[in-house]
């Protein structure tokens, strides 16, 4: 239990402490109250298991005592409303917070006791139901590890109410002192003047603002501990959801293996700056296609603001996912997608590991032979191929040197450079992209990589609602594709996202806004670490925050930034600042405030998507490795964003 709660328990709490800890409620005479509370604190410090020994029940009952403090502060201040209109308004604000606090407590008790008993318990901290055996288990299940946060917020609320009560007591003292000396006819005027001076000296609007925020935090904590009801708030995954989540998991496995394989492909550099296209293509059940922009020299310099001017090698990487590739799968593969290692016959290529090839039986149907003369053969059969065997860069560890040599020789687009096989579950064949080898900055019609934040205030190319919804959907899909891989940090943010766009299409896009395809393609900006460099620096301890799942919370932040076209820190207000100086909680307060009004920027459905991400409110816990949560996320976020995008297209927005 926190120091403040142990020392500053009101007189009414003595009975609670006596009942739960076996102390005599008459042990605390008013004159020696603080001394005995310090003794109680020392005893509480030696509790070995707070949950089992009743700390949870004490915290729950202390909530009732805080509720009474609300009433005391409101009544005391309200008595001086006739002297100053501001004070009357302050009393009403306290009353509103009291109602919110009481309703949150009622929602806590109702599922266990029923509405009638809950109201009785809210009026009587000594109600026998508080100390029933089942109560301890119920509160333990509800709060769990979150009991520390509940205690902290109760402490903050009590401090705010103490400040407001102290102001009311000063007003009462002024009235009492003036009443002894002044005539009744001038008493009201004099007291009004004195109270006005007191208001000028003590800014009680600040504790009122803190009380508002802390009361809302208490409500959120209890709301997050509320078990979801089946068929109400819990999403029941459809067959389509299960199928899509399964596909995302295969992409995830391939992406994870690809990262580690690239780390082994070049031992000359310890780091390689890479930009991974946010959405991988996974049309074939046996293959995943990634697009990667890779800097050859390790990219140790930082990215400047605006357009990135580092030339990047554009690679298409086709990964064979876990499992056996059947002849049927190969036949169904899209002709535009490059064949994998097991389908190398189509390209007439030799590999170092010939035993990995899967022979595709030719069709037995008779074929017509037509004698066309060709200036050059398109592809040779494997037996007639003149290509050198493709290198396995994981074995040779010379990727950068090999690619540089090929480029100096004028390597053409679409040619395989080699492959990656780190003896994992996936194999990856690497091609120069058929679109372009580099991101050029010298041509009139060119592609640009820009910071994600530059989209917010681009007067020449404002984001439409269709584009906003599309980018939001791509960010959400990236969560399921990369959340357990090194490509996506747990605390990712807009600084990790780059956008590829065709700047020459600005005029046309403005003229044909409702007809064009969205030209923005997001990329993850990452560093690929060599395994010899060791593990990445672990993230800091964020256990003292209100954030349940950092990956989903970070997504919610970026969705808010997309909707408002501003970074989250720019939208911060004084009321959002955490009193303990925790900047992560400050961002949470800002996001929680903004999500309540983001519907005016996008839609009600978009606002609900943001709320679920920020609060991780899917009814399946906060562990994103759990299949149920992934399916709920797909149903409540990805599908909803797809629906929003379709709706905006129908409306031409």
Rounded CA-CA distance 401/289 in Å is: 24
- Report whether pLDDT(99) > 50: yes
Cα dihedral 358, 359, 360, 361 sign: negative
pLDDT at 513: 46
Which bin fits 529, alpha (ψ -120 to 50), beta or left (φ > 0)?
A: beta
Rounded CA-CA distance 83/74 in Å is: 15
What tens digit of pLDDT does each residue of 156-207 get?
A: 888 888 888 787 777 777 666 655 555 455 556 666 666 666 666 667 778 8
The DSSP result for 548-617, as a single string, is: S-HHHHHHHHHHHHHHHTS-TTTT--GGGS-TT--HHHHHHHHHHHHHTTGGGTS-HHHHHHHHHHHHT-
- Report whether pLDDT(620) > 70: yes
CA dist list (Å): 573 to 256, 445, 594: 39, 42, 11
User: What three-state secondary structure class fits 551?
Assistant: helix
pLDDT at 445: 38
What tens digit of pLDDT does each residue of 2-38 get?
A: 333 333 333 333 333 333 333 333 333 333 433 433 4
What tens digit of pLDDT does each residue of 531-575 get?
A: 665 545 545 555 577 888 999 999 999 999 999 998 999 999 999
What tens digit of pLDDT does each residue of 363-413 get?
A: 455 444 444 333 433 333 334 344 557 788 887 777 887 777 776 766 655
User: What three-state secondary structure class fits 510?
Assistant: helix
Q: Is the distance from CB of 420 to CB of 427 less than 8 angstroms?
A: yes
Q: Mean pLDDT check: name the lowest of 165-179, 430-444, 509-523.
A: 430-444
- What pTM value is reported for the model? 0.57
Rounded CA-CA distance 36/551 in Å is: 46
Tokens representing residue 326 in the block: 């059947």
């Amino acid at each position: 239990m926190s120091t403040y709660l142990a020392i500053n328990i009101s007189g009414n709490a003595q009975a609670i402490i006596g009942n739960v800890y076996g102390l005599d409620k008459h042990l605390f005479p008013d004159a020696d109250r603080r001394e005995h509370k310090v003794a109680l604190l020392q005893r509480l410090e030696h509790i070995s298991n707070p949950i089992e020994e009743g700390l949870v029940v004490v915290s729950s009952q202390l909530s009732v005592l805080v509720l009474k403090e609300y009433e005391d502060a409101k009544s005391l201040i309200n008595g001086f409303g006739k002297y100053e209109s501001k004070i009357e308004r302050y009393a009403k604000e306290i009353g509103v917070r009291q109602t919110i606090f009481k309703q949150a407590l009622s929602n806590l008790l109702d599922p266990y006791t029923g509405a009638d008993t809950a109201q009785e318990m809210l009026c009587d901290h000594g109600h026998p139901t508080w100390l029933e055996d089942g109560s301890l288990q119920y509160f333990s299940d509800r709060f769990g590890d979150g009991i520390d946060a509940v205690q902290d917020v109760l402490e903050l609320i009590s401090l705010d109410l103490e400040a407001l009560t102290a102001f009311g007591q000063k007003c009462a003292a002024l009235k009492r002192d003036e009443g002894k000396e002044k005539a009744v006819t001038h008493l009201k005027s004099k007291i009004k003047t004195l109270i006005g001076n007191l208001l000028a000296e003590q800014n009680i609007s600040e504790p009122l603002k803190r009380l508002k925020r802390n009361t809302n935090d208490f409500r959120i904590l209890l709301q997050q501990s509320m078990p979801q009801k089946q068929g109400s708030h819990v999403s029941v995954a459809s067959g389509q959801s299960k199928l899509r989540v399964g596909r995302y998991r295969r992409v995830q496995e391939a992406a994870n293996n690809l990262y580690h394989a690239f780390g082994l492909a070049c031992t000359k550099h310890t780091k390689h700056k890479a930009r991974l296209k946010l959405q991988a293509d996974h049309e074939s059940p046996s293959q995943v296609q990634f697009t990667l922009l890779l800097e050859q020299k390790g990219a140790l310099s930082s990215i400047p603001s605006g357009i990135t001017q580092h030339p990047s090698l554009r690679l298409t990487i086709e990964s064979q996912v876990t499992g056996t590739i059947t002849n049927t799968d190969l036949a169904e593969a899209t002709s535009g997608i490059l064949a994998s290692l097991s389908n190398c016959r189509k390209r007439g290529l030799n590999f170092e590991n010939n035993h990995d090839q899967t022979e595709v039986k030719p069709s037995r149907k008779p074929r017509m032979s037509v004698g066309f003369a060709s200036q050059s053969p398109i592809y040779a059969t494997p037996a007639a191929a003149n290509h050198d065997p493709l290198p396995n860069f994981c074995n040779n560890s010379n990727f950068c040197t090999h690619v540089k040599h090929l480029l100096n020789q004028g390597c053409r687009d679409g040619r395989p450079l080699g492959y990656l096989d780190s003896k994992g579950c996936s194999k990856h064949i690497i091609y120069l992209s058929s679109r372009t080898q580099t991101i050029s900055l010298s041509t009139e019609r060119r592609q640009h990589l820009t910071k994600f934040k530059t989209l917010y205030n681009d007067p020449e190319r404002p984001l439409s609602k269709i584009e906003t919804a599309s980018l939001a959907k791509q960010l959400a899909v990236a969560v399921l594709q990369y959340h357990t891989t090194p490509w996506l940090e747990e605390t990712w943010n807009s600084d990790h996202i780059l956008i590829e766009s065709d700047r020459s299409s600005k005029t046309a896009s403005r003229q044909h806004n409702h007809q064009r395809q969205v030209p923005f393609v997001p990329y993850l900006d990452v560093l690929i670490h060599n395994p010899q460099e060791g593990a990445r620096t672990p993230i800091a301890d964020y256990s003292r925050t209100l954030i349940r799942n950092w990956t989903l919370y970070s997504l919610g932040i970026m969705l808010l930034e997309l909707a408002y076209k501003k970074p989250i820190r720019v939208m911060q207000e004084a009321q959002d600042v955490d009193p303990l100086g925790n900047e992560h909680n400050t961002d949470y307060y800002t996001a929680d405030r903004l999500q309540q009004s983001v519907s005016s920027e996008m839609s009600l459905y978009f606002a609900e998507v943001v709320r679920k991400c920020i609060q991780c409110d899917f009814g399946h816990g906060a562990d994103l490795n759990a299949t149920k949560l992934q399916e709920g996320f797909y149903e409540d976020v990805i599908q909803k964003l797809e629906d929003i995008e379709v709706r905006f297209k129908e409306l031409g927005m």
